[in-house]
Structure 1
Amino acid sequence: MKNTIAILALSSFFAFSACKKKDVTENSIEKTENQKSYEFIVDSVKAQGSTKVGDSLSVTFSSKLLVFPGLKDKALLDSIYFNEKGLSDFSKTGMQKYLEEEKDKYFISMKKDDELYSDLGHVQEWFSHSNMKLKSNANDYMHIQYSAEAYIGGAHGEYGFSERVFDLKKNRKLELKDITSMPNNKLEALLMKNIDKTKGNASDADGEVKNSEMLLVEKIPASDNFYFDDKNLYFHYSPYEITAYAAGDIVIPVSWEELKGTLNEEFKERMKIK
């Protein structure tokens, strides 16, 4: 059943506020910070609805996708919509149709799995929500945050985030090796050192519980779930990925100064890193 609900293995909205990154307004026309001659157009489509699938159960679906009319490279678009396996028409009309079909499929699948809710015992509301948000577009690097959450019974729901940065000059997703040549073991050491630089989400009777106290792993992997600004490279971890659920999602910063001597020269020049 859980396979019918898309959950991205993916940080906290609070962490992004701490990073002081400004969201890009949707349904607007934006220019990149280096004043390109072209206009970068952002639009969106959304499908939502709810239905009753049993005497004790209602389910809700909502999904939102960004639309980029000015982007035409198919490989780039496939990478941007990596989680939408059946999507091939990237026009606004095509994407709206796709989301409506996904909503209908979700409701049908829930109604078929009646064994899941035949004896719930009390009234419940289950849901599946997903979202795309354009976080920044600077120096031809476009950062999109993908989020998803779902509840299908139990003590709590599930949620996660995925961060992707796209190089609009080269029409592809940016990889960690495009930014730094630092070996993984050294990056892992920096991540472990910096884990408490982000305020923890968990607390007990004595107050805040540090992120390092909630770790489930001995090493923090340098994952592909990253983004950056003019000061830091950030790694984003969803609940259970490196810490207990109570810790929430965690963003760990690594400064450009800490990566000094390992930065890719082209990246360094485009980001104007001294």
Structure 2
Amino acid sequence: MKKYGTFILSLIIITLYSCNNSTTSTGTGKENKAEAAIEQPNDTAFFANDTILLDSYVPDSPKLTANVALKNIVLNNNAATEKAIAEISYILTGEESKSITEAGNRYIAKLKTDYMELRPEYINIRESNDMPHWLNQEFMVSSECSNGYKGFVNYTINFFEYTGGAHPNSYCTTLTFDPNDGHEVTIGEIMKPGYEEPLIELITQSIISFLNVEDVAELDEVIFDHKELYISKNVVMGKDNLTFIYNKYDIAPYAVGEIIAEIPYEKLQDILKQEYR
């Protein structure tokens, strides 16, 4: 009987120990996403400031200038980091790379290859006194990397391009990564089914405030020109807010500029999945 009592006591101790050391469960079969990611180093992994001449034998040759500065990203393990870098590289170059440095070099090489395709046209008109202004081009790329909501890591790539049109263009692409496996986290992943309509309403109210217009009617008529608002895929999952970014031309004319809708998480509680509240 004494041995039996000792056995029961041992089982109780083991059970309590196991409960205290198990992964927190949300009741959904998923691990708690609050696991902290490695603090991002905020260092520049790649920098280049290049000038590419269309004709190196001509002093006043048309040229392309490229300034590229890309931040590093470090996730919780090598496999996750490599997966994230491959996605970042694909945005920049259309192909995967194993490092930010490799991605930056490939981006510069692609710019040069594309630019030199203009050389035959330049040769045909170089004696002209009316040199097309679009032969001079400029590209600037920078990036930002930061820790965000529930341990996620945000990576934003900012582009500036002038290729001879009526005006330059600037835009950004955002990516949010799970620090444990490196997959790209989407809005649909953290929201409950049916989130779209209430989220668009929150985005609309935020844009009304951002653009300082009176109401939805003015927003629709003056800014959107009756275009239908949608949920931007460019979203930064910050520690305190979801920030939706609409590039120029996405939902409004160029002159309106970039549009930002910032929504605190406390306003999203009804549409966030339980494990992301």
TM-score, normalised to structure 1's length?
Answer: 0.68
Which structure 1 segments of 5+ residues have no match? 1-32, 203-209, 269-274
Give CA deviations for 1:172-205 in whole Å, capped at 9, x if unaligned: 11110222224322222222222122256x9xxx
Aligned partner letter, 2:173: S
Change (3 A) 1:122 1:108: closer
Worse overlay, 228-237 or 80-89: 80-89
Match status 1:78 vs 2:89: no
Worse overlay, 145-154 or 48-57: 48-57
Q: State the shift of 1:81 in Å.
A: 2.5
Q: State the shift of 1:56 in Å.
A: 7.0
Contact 2:70 2:142 in 1 (8 A): yes
User: Quick one: distance in 1 between partners of 2:124 and 2:243?
Assistant: 39
- Partner residue of 1:233 out of 242, 257, 260: 242
Contact 1:190 1:254 in 2 (8 A): yes
- Partner residue of 1:158 out of 169, 192, 196: 169
Contact 1:56 1:123 in 2 (8 A): no
User: Quick one: distance in 2 between partners of 1:133 and 1:187?
Assistant: 26
Q: Per chain length, whose mean CA-contact separation is higher, i.e. which structure has more relative contact order (CA < 8 Å, sep 6+)?
A: 1
Equivalent residue runs for 1:160-175 within 5 Å: 160-175=171-186
Match status 1:255 vs 2:264: yes
Greater Rg by CA: 2
Query: Aligned residues, how many?
Result: 226
Tell me which residue corresponds to 1:129: 140
Contact 1:238 1:250 in 2 (8 A): yes
Aligned partner letter, 1:53: L
Aligned partner letter, 2:210: T
Give secondary structure in 2 for the equivalent of 1:172: coil
TM-score, normalised to structure 2's length?
Answer: 0.67
Tell me which residue corresponds to 2:197: 185
User: Quick one: distance in 2 between partners of 1:189 and 1:116?
Assistant: 55
Match status 1:62 vs 2:71: no
Which structure 2 segments of 5+ residues have no match? 1-33
User: Quick one: distance in 2 between partners of 1:34 and 1:198?
Assistant: 33
Tell me which residue corresponds to 2:45: 44
Aligned partner letter, 1:60: T
Q: State the shift of 1:251 in Å.
A: 0.6
Change (3 A) 1:91 1:60: closer
Match status 1:197 vs 2:209: yes
User: Quick one: distance in 2 between partners of 1:241 and 1:251?
Assistant: 12
C-alpha RMSD of matched pairs (Å): 3.4
Give CA deviations for 1:85-138 in whole Å, capped at 9, x if unaligned: 23433274x445434533532442343453897668368442122222214456
Aligned partner letter, 2:70: L
Q: Which has the higher strand share?
A: 1
User: Quick one: distance in 2 between partners of 1:265 and 1:193?
Assistant: 24
Worse overlay, 227-236 or 148-157: 227-236
